[in-house]
Structures are given as structure tokens and as C-alpha cells.
Amino acid sequence: MQPLTVLGMTALGGLGYCLAEARAHTLREISVPGPAAAVGVRVLHISDLHLAPWDTDRIRWVASLEKVQADLIVASGDFMAHAHAVPLVERALEPLLTTPGVFVLGSNDFYAPKFKNPFAYLGRNNARVLGAPLPTQDLKVVLASGGWLGLDNARGQLRVRGVDIEFRGTGDAHINLDDYASVAGPWSENSQLRIAVTHAPYARVLKAMTEDSPDIVLAGHTHGGQITIPFVTALTTNCDLPVKQARGLSWLPAPEKSVPLHVSAGVGTSPIFPVRLGCRPEATLITFV
């Protein structure tokens, strides 16, 4: 066989694997130290669904997460990837919307994806190229239909399993919609679990959040880098977060004690770059211990 033929077949095989891995949805389970009152609370963290009409398997998988029976759902943005995505988001989340939940939006919930060089995704601090406006208000109506709280530059409180949980969040820092100052400051004295949520985990947001000592910070946006060098690291976080924190649990230095940061690798992918390697699409069940 000619070397070029071998090369071509290897490249096609590799591409096929990466396309398949992008559809190999996984539920990851982790434990995180939390306040005594919150021990046993189970939080389902979902992020970056990036739904488009051809994502029928992804929609089914997200809907199937109802069987997890989480106490609380935190959705950290980028639900849409298409002008007609709102009914798709509704179908995917319908079984989950009656569970107590909170959400923030990502840049892809405001603007449709716009084609560019797919490999630009792997660049550091890859700037967002904004496409046509999306039906953001319609999306918010669906997300709030069962009682989920919107946390874009907002605070909120929910009582879950007898635990008073306080939340604060920001708009997406990737398109400069973050205004942490508007939610900063002391937490309520009666809150027993304090959760901060943002879409893109930029350093300025994480620093401001950790100065107020939440019990955990939850974020998405990175997709875990989508492509990782096996056993080494992701190539990008698509923001100024170090690549070693591209997905999963890490710790942020804070005045009193370090704060856990959980970054979801996301359920979907960039529609412009729909492949994954060494970084399966995920939702995460976080149990406080």
C-alpha cells in the first residue's frame, strides 16, 4: 500500500474516533468536602449542551439524567447552537426542570455560532466571533418554567432537602457580560451551602468569587479542551484559566481556606469543531461530604 494511502486511512480512522468520542456521553461522579449541614446533598452539574436539530442522541441522553434523582441541578450555560434550539433545550431538560435548579447563560445562548477556521478553537484565548442573535428570552422562559433561578449577575436562594442554599452568579465573562460587583459581599447568615456559578471561568471572576469564600464555584465553557494529549493535558481552555484546570475539580486560593472549583467538560462540543479526544462529553454528579 502506498504511504499516502496509509496516511489517509490513518487520518480518516482518527477523525472517526474523535467524532465518536464526542457522542460518548458519560456521567462522572465526584465527592467534594462541604459544610456539615450540606453533607449528602447531590448536585447534578450540566453545561455546554450546544444543541442543534441533529443532536437527537444528546437530547435523549440529557433527558435520561432524570434517573439520577439529584437534589439540585446547576446548568452553567451554552444551551444552544442553532436558531431553532429552544424547543430542543425544552425536550432535553423537560424531565429535569421540576428538580430545584439554577442556571447562567453562555455566549452561545445569545449569538449563533459563526464559521471560522476550526483549529482556531485550539488557540489560547480564542476570541468569540459573534453570529446572528438567538432567542435568548425564549430560552430563559423555558429554563425558568419549572422554577429554576437565573443567576446572570444575580443572587438567589433555594431550600433543598431541608438545606438552605444560597447562590450567586455572573453573566458570561467571555463576552464581558460579567458584573460580579453587583452580587459581591457577605452571604446571608442563615445560608447553609453557598454556591457561585459562572459560564466562562476567567481569572477575574474566579478571584472575585473566591474573595467572598463560597463553598464551591461551578463553571463550564472550556469543554475540557475537547482535544487532550493523553496522560498530559488539554491544549486550551478558551479563556485565561490554566490548562491543568480545564476540567474537573481543582482548588482556588482564598483568604480563609481554598475553594473548590468544578469545571464541567460539557455535554456538547463547539459545532465548528465537533470532535473530542481523551475528553468525553459529560455531566457530573457532585456529592457533598
Among 21, 55, 71, 78, which residue sits at the site for Fe ion (rule: CB under 5 A)? Answer: 78
CA distances from 172 to 77, 122, 125, 280 (A): 8, 20, 14, 24
72/34 Cα distance (integer angstroms)? 15
* Binder of Fe ion out of 48, 55, 109, 282 (CB under 5 A): 48
Q: How far is the CB of 124 from Fe ion (least distance, A)?
A: 16
| Closer of 194 and 221 to Fe ion (Cβ) | 221
Q: What is the DSSP secondary-structure string of 15-59?
A: HHHHHHHTT--EEEEEEE---GGGTT-EEEEE----B-TT-HHHH
Name the nearest CA neighbour of 43 among 25, 31, 60, 61.
31
Q: Is 282 in the site for Fe ion (CB under 5 A)?
A: no
153 Rama class: left (phi>0) / alpha (psi -120 to 50) / beta? left
Output 102 or 158, the one with its CB closest to Fe ion.
102
Q: How far is the CB of 244 from Fe ion (least distance, A)?
A: 19
Smallest distance, Å, CB 6 to Fe ion? 35
Residue 51 or residue 142: which is nearer to Fe ion going by CB? 51
Q: How far is the CB of 199 from Fe ion (least distance, A)?
A: 8
What's the closest the beta carbon of residue 149 comes to Fe ion, in angstroms? Answer: 21
> Per CB under 5 A, which of residues 142..171 are in contact with Fe ion?
none
**Binding residues vs Fe ion (CB under 5 A):** 48, 78
